[in-house]
């Protein structure tokens, strides 16, 4: 997304006074998020938040950051323990007259089972592409957060599906 879109979204989040989510701004110094994670060091940020969904007691970190230092702002979502990112969203498209974040599930694990993950995501959730309407006012933020949290839950579930099912090729005896 461009910086103007990120600033507009940040302004909307800063005005949040709804229920269901607790939003805590992260402290930035000179547009940098100090000591957050090695992948964010010295990268320019528009804003960062810890967002907690109160009814599930689940939290993620939402960063509006120049992720690749090229002037393009990403919404990067980190797990609460900061061990990894759940989504790195940069694409904004106008769909059905509304601006929407567009994210595609594309697992890059190094275990040879990414095709199974992707197939599971598509079969279970209908598509590997997710579209989330950008809120145009603070009133629309709860739905925006609901959709982002759902994206995160689905991503984590799809990534872990190989732990649930055995995708190993059948042995000679099973054929």
What are the tens digits of pLDDT across the range 88-144? 999 999 999 999 999 999 999 999 999 999 999 999 999 999 999 999 888 999 999
In a domain, 170, yes or no: no
pLDDT at 175: 52
In a domain, 37, yes or no: yes
Query: Edge-to-edge strand order for the sheet containing 129-133?
Result: 91-95, 98-104, 129-133
| Euclidean distance between CA atoms 42 and 53, whole angstroms | 29
How many domains does one find in the chain?
Answer: 1
Q: Do 3 and 71 meet the contact criterion of CB atoms below 8 Å apart?
A: yes
pTM: predicted TM-score of the whole model, two decimal places: 0.90
pLDDT at 57: 87
In a domain, 72, yes or no: yes
In a domain, 139, yes or no: yes
């Amino acid at each position: 997304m461009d910086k103007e879109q990120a600033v507009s979204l940040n302004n909307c989040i800063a005005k949040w006074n709804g229920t269901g989510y607790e939003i805590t701004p992260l402290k930035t110094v000179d547009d940098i998020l100090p000591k957050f994670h090695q992948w964010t060091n010295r990268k320019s940020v528009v804003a960062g938040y810890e967002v907690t969904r109160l009814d599930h007691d689940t939290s993620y970190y939402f960063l509006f950051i120049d992720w690749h230092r090229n002037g393009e702002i990403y919404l990067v979502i980190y797990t609460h323990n900061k061990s990894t990112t759940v989504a790195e969203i940069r694409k904004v498209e106008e769909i059905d007259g509304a601006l929407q974040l567009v994210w595609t599930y594309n697992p890059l694990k190094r275990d040879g089972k990414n095709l199974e993950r992707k197939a599971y995501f598509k079969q279970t959730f209908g598509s590997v592409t997710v579209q989330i309407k950008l809120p145009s006012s603070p009133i629309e933020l709860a739905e925006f957060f609901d959709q982002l949290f759902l994206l995160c839950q689905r991503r984590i579930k799809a990534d872990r599906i190989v732990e649930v099912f055995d995708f190993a090729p059948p042995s000679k005896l099973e054929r």
